Amino acid sequence: MTIRVDPTKCRGYGLCEVLAPGHLEADDWGLAQSRGLPVDQQDVASVQAAIDVCPFDAIRWLEEPPTERSF
Amino acid sequence: MPDHGSSTRVLRWPDLVGGVLTVTPESPEDLEAYLTAGGYRLPDEQPTPALLRQHLEAIPAVTALRGRGGAGFPLWTKMETVLDEAAASGQTPVVVANGAEGEPLSVKDRYLMRYRPHLILNGAALAARALGAKTIHVYAHDQESLDALKTAADDLVAMGVPVPKVQIHAAQDTFVAGEATAAVRAINTKVARPLDHPPRMAKSGVGGAPTLVSNVETLARLARATMPDAAEEQSPLLVTLSGDGVSPTLIEVPYGLPVLTLLASPEVDAAGAGSVLAGGFFGGVVPISYDLGLSLESRAEHGGALGCASLYLIGEGTDPITVASAVADYFDGNNARQCRSCVLSTEDTALALRGIGATPDVLLSRLTRWSAQIVGRGACAVPDGVALLLRSLLRHYPEQLKAHLAAPPPTRLDWAGLTVEVPSARVLTTTGGVL
């Protein structure tokens, strides 16, 4: 499983990167982005904590890779 | 006489096999003409969805068909997914014909909707019949296209041609309205904005039903592939050509045609261009080399994308970075303004390409970082398009980019100079196959 940060929701609180720095990082604008790595069993708890702490519910688990974004 | 000097002309490549332009591309085709040409026959000859699918699957030009809206996804695979989802949920699928052509450098979809509406409706009807769908939603913003499609749908009812019900939806005239999830969302809720990771449309689209969203040219190609003299495998491309040294042209060419061959042809005669902004705003800027071809594969090899197959020519005397800068400005002004990461990164990219925000060295390192960082950072592909544009500059024009950032030209390319007019029947010319 991986995670995705919903770009329509993230406001850059920065809480998630502190809780799960191995899977989330801030971009140049202070907004969270997933590092795109599969989440191992040992990291599930910290990633779940990052998901739970987000005030905008911007982070979610992805069962499958993201669907294509296109026009 | 009004001046139509800048209007788009329509040309056919000589001896093209399986094209969608008629011998009189300047005349809109009505139902009678389309029926005479053999249109709308297939669903009746193959009366069940399973038989129709079996028939379609045996046609190479059908199974080889890749979407013409920009992403190039195989239509047949998309249809199979919708079919699987419909079987799993027991719901009746829906077909959306997407004609919300938001790319300012492309007119092909509007041309087809205005001049060959029945080819599109026939393709949509074939897809609908093959999927067991009962309704076709047609979605477009261009009023003349909507009128043509409405007349075509009304004529089908009046003539008693058995096709699924056609519903016509007016899209907003925005760049993002044609993105597939925005199209479905607009039909459902009138909000034409992309969704981040929506429910898969094949599973839950219009009204929650399994939905096939397909570009109107793709559907026209589907119908064309079932008719006599179809393409052997890959269907031809409709290319919107504009830019330096060429009058705006819509031309249908064989798939894979080298760009140089197209530009050197006597009718086009634009051999002086050095670079090209390809695939609307989603294909990057690339030098025109001998091995640059009009195919998904060739464009990908050159670090770009085929997209909607438009080509905007950049003359030897024009700095390609100024064109890229105009595109970044356009993305900055025309994104959906719903993803902060997109709003901020497109704005800063546009500013950086105008030399604003930091020293040239810092700007270059930022643009280099962003070209990778902003990929996937939007609900739709706008940040991906900006990133691809940046990567194309870094790959093909590193020295020009450095020079540009150090001393940005005082006047940037006027945005209006990048637009192409939709073909008008009064000014169309054709070579009728004898270039």
How far off is chain B from A23, nearest CA to CA, in Å? 15
φ, ψ dihedrals at A4, nearest 5°: -135, 140
DSSP single-letter state for residue A43: G
For the segment A31-51, the average pLDDT, to the nearest whole number, is 94
- Three-state secondary structure readout of B289-346: CCCCECCHHHHHHCCCCCCCCCEEEEECCCCHHHHHHHHHHHHHHHCCCCCHHHHHHH
For residue A71, the chain B residues in CB contact (below 8 A) are: 69-71, 102-103, 176, 178-180, 280, 282, 307, 380-381
Given a contact cutoff of 8 angstroms between Cβ atoms, the answer to whether B234 and B19 are in contact is: no
Joined tokens for residue B66: 């890749």
Nearest CB among B103, B340, B378 relative to A69 is that of B378
Band of the pLDDT at B2, cuts 50, 70, 90?
very low
Q: How far apart are CA B348 and CA B28, in angstroms?
A: 44
* CA dihedral of residues B168, B171, B177, B181 (deg, nearest 10): -30
- The pTM of the full predicted model, rounded to 2 decimals, is 0.91
- Least confident segment among A52-56, B94-98, B190-194, B415-419: B415-419
Yes or no, beta carbons of B344 and A60 under 8 Å apart: no
Beta-bridge mates of residue A3: A61
Neighbours of B162 (CB within 10 A): 10
Answer whether residue B197 shows pLDDT above 50. yes
Give the residue from chain B lying closest to A25, CA to CA: B373
pLDDT digits (tens, 9 = 90+) for B321-375: 999 999 999 999 889 999 999 999 999 999 999 999 999 999 999 999 999 999 9
Yes or no, beta carbons of A70 and B344 under 8 Å apart: no
Neighbours of B227 (CB within 10 A): 17
pLDDT of amino acid B428: 44
For the segment B91-105, the average pLDDT, to the nearest whole number, is 94
From residue B322, how far is each of B328, B353, B400 by CA, in Å? Answer: 10, 8, 10
Nearest CB among B180, B341, B384 relative to A29 is that of B341
The position carrying tokens 């064309």 is B224
pLDDT of amino acid B42: 77
Given a contact cutoff of 8 angstroms between Cβ atoms, the answer to whether B245 and B256 are in contact is: no
Answer whether residue B3 shows pLDDT above 90. no
Q: How far apart are CA B62 and CA B227, in angstroms?
A: 11
Given a contact cutoff of 8 angstroms between Cβ atoms, the answer to whether B328 and B349 are in contact is: yes
Nearest CB among B179, B373, B376 relative to A66 is that of B376
pLDDT of amino acid B415: 65
pLDDT digits (tens, 9 = 90+) for B124-168: 999 999 999 999 999 999 999 999 999 999 999 999 988 899 999
For residue B69, the chain A residues in CB contact (below 8 A) are: 70-71
Yes or no, beta carbons of B73 and A60 under 8 Å apart: no
pLDDT digits (tens, 9 = 90+) for B220-276: 999 999 999 999 999 999 999 999 888 889 999 999 999 999 999 988 888 889 999
